[in-house]
Every structure is written in C-alpha cells, then in structure tokens.
Structure 1
Amino acid sequence: MSSVLVESKYRACIDACTECQQACESCNYGCCEGSAEMVECGRMCIDCARLCALCVDLLSRGSSIALKICELCIEVCTACAEECAKYDMESCQRCADACRRCVEECRSLVAAMA
C-alpha cells in the first residue's frame, strides 16, 4: 500500500496495521475451523482486524483522531496477541506476532507524535 500521499512518518505504522489486519482475518478463519474453545480468539481477531483497518484509514487521511485510534489499537492488539498466543495453530502464532509488531509501531508513532 505505498502512496506518496501518506506522510512517511506514518508508513511503518500503516504497514504494521495492514499486516496485522490480514493476519487477524486469516487467524479468524482458522479459528472457525478449530475447536469451540477458540471462539474467543476468533472474535478478538475480528475486532482487532477492524480496528487496524480503521487505524490505516485514519492515518492515511491524516485524521486528527488517528493517534487516539492508534492508542486503542495498542490495547486491542496486545489483547489479541495474548489470546492468539494460547493456541499452537500456525495462523494463531502468525497473528500473535503481527499483533506484537503492530503494537510496537503504534507505540513508536504515538511516542514520536506526543
């Protein structure tokens, strides 16, 4: 999702959020095929994916509320990483890793913009 219209200071965060969204959607699909105990993981992934998509959209537009959404993204991605890490499925482990990277990039952006 490369664009000259997006400020370069947002690029790493946008890329991490995009990767996280895709990993969450993939993990959710895998959770649907898993056992009933994975329902919460699937739900968390749906929420996380939607929030990451919103974060990408707002950062891409330079919205004045983007950083507040990044702060919420940190919270939700942290929770999603913790939930996904409970399961041995490859999609869950990839999702947990992507969520952790998203948290790091969102934290860096929020700190830099504060």
Structure 2
Amino acid sequence: MIELLEPCISLAEQAGAAIMSLYKKDDIGKQEKSDNTPVTKADLAANDVLVAGLKALAPDIPIMSEETPIPALAERQDWQRYWLLDPMDGTGEFILESGDFAVNIALVENNRPVLG
C-alpha cells in the first residue's frame, strides 16, 4: 500500500496544478451536469490527470470518478478494490474564487477506504 502513497500525492499535486492554471481565469467553462451540479474545465483537467496517472500506476484497479459515467452495478458489484475520485471537490467554491476546494483520491478495498 505504501508504494501507492507517494505516486498518489504526486498525482494530486499535478491535478492541483491543472486546477490552479485555470483559477480566476475569465473562461472556466462552467456547465451544468445532468444532476444540476456545476462542472468546469478545471474539474475535467484534474480528472484527466488523475485517470491517466492512476491507469499508468495500477492498470488493474478500476476507477470511479465524479466526472465520468458510473459503470453499471453489474460491472462493478464484484470489485474488491477500486479508485474513487472527486477530481475537484468544491466546484462551487472554485467558481466563487473562495479558495476552498480540494483534489480527492481514495483507494477502496472491500467497501472501505484504505488510502486517501
């Protein structure tokens, strides 16, 4: 497990850099998702960084992200281990430029977070 910690910290920092490259810009690409919550270019950029990095780090571990479609229950019900991501938690705060947002990465095993 410890061998995953440092790479995940690095990925979180890279996702944070992608977010900050768009912070306080005129065009953050704000849109509404199907659940009526906001999403921005920063959410999607952070998601791209995390998904690509985690696939390279551990290609055998599936990924569920707030910014990608959730796989059908039939596909994921037997997952013993998976990554759970919110690439930018606090999109509303990002939009308001309050500074209160974070990159969230968790490794879940047997329905319990074991790394985050």
TM-score normalised to structure 1 length: 0.34
Higher-helix-fraction structure: 1
Higher relative contact order (CA 8 A, sep 6+): 1
Higher-strand-fraction structure: 2
Q: Larger Cα Rg: Structure 1 or Structure 2? A: 2
TM-score normalised to structure 2 length: 0.33
